[in-house]
Amino acid sequence: MSVRTLYRAFAQGSTSSVMAYVRERRLDRARLDLSGTRLTVSEVAARWQFADSSHFVKAYRKRFGTTPAADRHHLP
């Protein structure tokens, strides 16, 4: 599939962009890492290719409404 076709498919069938979709999936996986590993917030951010932990915390809070550190204490 070409890049153009991919972007066109997202434009027709979704309200989010390709990059927004990818970022949401990375945040979902990071959340699983926070609940299932002993990695620090910074290590999780690096593992999921966020530029730095402050960028990760901001994106995480926007998606889930809480910080990664606070969420870690409440997730099973």
Cα–Cα dist 32/64, whole Å: 13
* Residue 30 amino acid letter: A
pLDDT reported for residue 41: 94
User: CATH fold of 19-74, please?
Assistant: Arc Repressor Mutant, subunit A (1.10.10)
* Residue 35 amino acid letter: S
- Domain-by-domain residue ranges, the chain? 19-74
- pLDDT tens digits, residue range 14-64? 667 888 888 999 999 999 999 888 899 999 999 999 999 999 999 999 999
